[in-house]
């Protein structure tokens, strides 16, 4: 039997890879479109997860694995090495897209990564190519373009970093928050990204410790959240160095629940996507399968949402709860399992 922590780390990593790969096929579809294509039933294990289809991951797993590899390689958080890992992952996917276009002239692909992450990577590439004379130094917070830095680019890759924080920060909430801020500001330097990345990290920690109490959730930073009372977790006052107030954050979770049933709404921004992912993970605490299916059936940013749900449920239930037949459909799942073992041996094995 696997060590419980090893199983949870592997479950987290594999959960990201599977959610990303399965969700990628349905990205940008709305709930209504998914229902139309499935005779009104929505996706189910039998109708979707066919053994004849091999599923490929996208940027969600590429960046998650880049974070894990950097942490393992350096045995700590090294922003310069992490930036290099981002650049390497970006180049690899670009090369794969170029090869696909050569093989199939009709093939068209979107940008490998999100706009905000791509801008940060481009700036780091200039920095490395010019030996620090141009571009942006990874040790300094990035400056996002207007209306940039509002998406899921941090939360979708943060899972290995959260497992690292839970060892390196220990019981110090201040160190947990300080390191999280530095990690987030490498690519997404906005209040929205920072708050929701913290929220996801806080909740992933709870899932990994099985401290999920149904209606009441006690966060790692001594925050209280009640789904029934529609109250949002309050970020620590020192997280941003000031009182954190934002009108969008007062939105009751009841509204997010309604959004999840509304075919005209898609989930791409951190302020809706992460809340949706948490909602679905709490609804499906004992079923990895159903959590992933629900995330995809909501439509929108299905790969990122399903990967976040996969991380949460994988952290809670461990790799044993993930169907082996699902793992067999995603080539990168083996890499995720191996990385989980290496990560455990680097930070948790005594």
> What is d(CA 299, CA 33) in angstroms, rounded to the nearest whole number?
8
CB 80 within 8 A of CB 127: no
Residue 321, in any domain of the structure: yes
Interval 257-296: pLDDT, tens: 455 454 344 556 777 788 788 878 888 889 999 999 988 8
Domain extent at residue 340 = 4-56+154-347
Biggest alpha carbon distance in the chain?
Answer: 57
Regions of the chain with pLDDT less than 50: 1, 213-257, 260, 262-265
**Is residue 303 domain-resident?**
yes
Write down the pTM of the prediction: 0.85
In a domain, 99, yes or no: no
Q: What gap in Å lies between CA 349 and CA 299, rounded to an integer?
A: 39
User: How many domains are contained in the chain?
Assistant: 1
Look at residue 143 and tell me if it is in a domain. no
Distance CA 97, CA 111 (A): 9
What DSSP string runs through 70-88?
HHHHHSS--HHHHHHHHHH
Specify the CATH number for the domain of residue 279.
1.10.4080.10
Q: Answer for the pair 285, 212: CB distance below 8 angstroms, yes or no.
A: yes
223-227 — which CB contacts under 8 Å span 24+ positions? 227/253, 227/282
Please tell me the distance from the alpha carbon of residue 312 to that of residue 319, in angstroms, as a whole number.
Answer: 12
**Is 88 a member of any domain?**
no
In whole angstroms, give the CA distance from residue 24 to residue 247.
31
Within a domain: 40: yes
Domain presence at residue 191: yes
For residue 331, being part of any structural domain is answered with: yes
* pLDDT digits 0-9 by tens, 72-93: 999 999 999 999 999 999 999 8
- pLDDT, residue 109, reads 60
């Amino acid at each position: 039997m696997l060590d419980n922590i090893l199983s949870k780390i592997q479950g987290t990593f594999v959960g990201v890879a599977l959610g990303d790969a399965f969700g990628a096929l349905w990205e940008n579809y709305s709930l209504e479109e998914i229902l139309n294509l499935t005779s009104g039933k929505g996706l189910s294990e039998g109708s979707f997860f066919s053994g004849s289809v091999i599923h490929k991951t996208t940027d969600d797993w590429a960046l998650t694995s880049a974070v894990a590899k950097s942490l393992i390689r350096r045995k700590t958080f090294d922003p310069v090495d992490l930036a290099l890992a981002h650049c390497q992952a970006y180049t690899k996917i670009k090369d794969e897209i170029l090869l696909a276009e050569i093989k199939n002239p009709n093939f068209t692909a979107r940008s490998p990564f999100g706009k905000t992450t791509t801008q940060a990577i481009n700036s780091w590439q200039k920095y490395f190519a010019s030996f620090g004379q141009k571009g942006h130094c990874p040790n300094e917070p990035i400056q996002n373009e207007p209306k940039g830095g509002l998406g899921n680019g941090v939360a979708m890759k943060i899972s290995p970093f959260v497992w690292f924080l839970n060892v390196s920060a220990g019981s110090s909430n201040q160190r947990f928050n300080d390191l999280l801020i530095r990690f987030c500001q490498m690519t997404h330097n906005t209040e929205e990204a920072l708050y929701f990345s913290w929220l996801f990290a806080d909740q992933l920690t709870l899932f990994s410790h099985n401290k999920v109490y149904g209606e009441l959730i006690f966060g790692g930073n001594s925050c209280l959240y009640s789904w029934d009372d529609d109250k949002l977790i309050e970020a620590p006052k020192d997280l941003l160095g000031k009182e954190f107030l934002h009108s969008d954050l007062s939105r009751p979770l009841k509204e997010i629940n309604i959004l999840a049933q509304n075919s005209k709404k898609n989930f791409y921004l951190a302020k809706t996507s992460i809340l949706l992912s948490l909602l679905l993970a709490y609804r499906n605490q004992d079923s990895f399968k159903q959590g992933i299916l629900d995330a995809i059936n909501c439509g929108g940013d299905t790969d990122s949402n399903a990967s976040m749900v996969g991380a949460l449920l994988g952290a809670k239930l461990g790799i044993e709860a993930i169907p082996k037949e699902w793992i067999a459909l995603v080539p990168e799942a083996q890499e995720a399992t191996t990385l989980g073992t290496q990560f455990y041996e680097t930070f948790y094995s005594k």
